[in-house]
C-alpha cells in the first residue's frame, strides 16, 4: 500500500480500517531493518548494554528516564526506538534489577497507596515516587498502566470523581 499510495495516509488508513494518523505513526516508527516479534537473547543483551552505556549506569540499576530511544535504536540496529523503549521499560529493566511478578496483593497495595496519597485528581499522582521500592513494578509508566487497568474494572469510572473511585475500589 505504501508503494502504491506513497504518503497518502488517509487512503492507506481507509484500506486498513485505521486512522490516517495511526498509519502515519506506524510507518514513521517502522524501518526496513527492524525485526519484529520475539527478541533474541543477543538483541536483549545489546539493548541492555546500550542503555547502560548511554545513561552511564550499571546493570541492575533501574533506568526509566533520560534515555534517548532514537540513539538506543540506532545502536541496537535491529529494532525501532518504540520497540526498544517498550522492551526496556516493560520488561528488561525490571528483569535486570531482580523484579518479581505482579500479584493480586500488589494490586490491592496499589489502591491503598494511591488512597494514602490523598490527592484530588489522579493527574496529581507522582508515579515515579509511587513506583519506588516495589520489586514487581517494572517502571512508573507500567505502574500507571496497571492503575488504568484496575480503574477500568469500575463500569462508570469515567463518570465518577477520583476520590469516589478510590473509595469504591478500597
* Helix or strand (DSSP H, E) at 60: none
For the chain, the distance separating the N- and C-terminal CA atoms, rounded to the nearest angstrom, is 50
What is d(CA 87, CA 60) in angstroms, rounded to the nearest whole number?
16
The 3-class SS string of 133-149 reads: CCCCCCCHHHHHHHHHH
Q: DSSP 3-state assignment of 40?
A: coil
Superfamily for the 1-30 domain: Homeodomain-like (1.10.10.60)
What is d(CA 25, CA 35) in angstroms, rounded to the nearest whole number?
17
Q: How confident is residue 96, by pLDDT bands cut at 50, 70 and 90? A: confident
> Which single residue is written with the C-alpha cell 539493548?
47
Q: What is the pTM of this model?
A: 0.58
pLDDT digits 0-9 by tens, 104-129: 999 999 999 999 998 889 999 999 99
Amino acid at each position: 500500500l505504501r508503494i502504491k499510495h506513497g504518503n497518502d495516509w488517509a487512503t492507506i488508513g481507509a484500506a486498513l480500517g485505521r486512522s490516517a494518523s495511526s498509519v502515519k505513526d506506524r510507518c514513521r516508527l517502522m524501518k526496513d531493518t527492524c525485526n519484529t516479534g520475539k527478541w533474541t537473547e543477543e538483541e536483549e543483551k545489546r539493548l541492555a548494554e546500550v542503555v547502560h552505556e548511554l545513561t552511564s549506569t550499571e546493570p541492575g540499576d533501574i533506568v526509566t528516564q533520560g534515555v534517548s530511544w532514537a540513539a538506543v535504536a540506532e545502536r541496537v540496529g535491529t529494532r525501532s526506538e518504540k520497540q526498544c523503549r517498550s522492551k526496556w521499560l516493560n520488561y528488561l529493566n525490571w528483569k535486570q534489577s531482580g523484579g518479581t511478578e505482579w500479584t493480586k496483593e500488589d494490586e490491592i497495595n496499589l489502591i491503598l497507596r494511591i488512597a494514602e496519597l490523598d490527592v484530588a485528581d489522579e493527574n496529581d499522582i507522582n508515579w515515579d515516587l509511587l513506583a519506588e521500592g516495589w520489586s514487581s513494578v517494572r517502571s512508573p509508566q507500567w505502574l500507571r498502566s496497571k492503575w488504568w487497568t484496575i480503574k477500568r474494572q469500575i463500569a462508570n469510572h469515567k463518570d465518577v470523581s477520583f476520590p469516589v473511585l478510590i473509595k469504591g475500589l478500597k
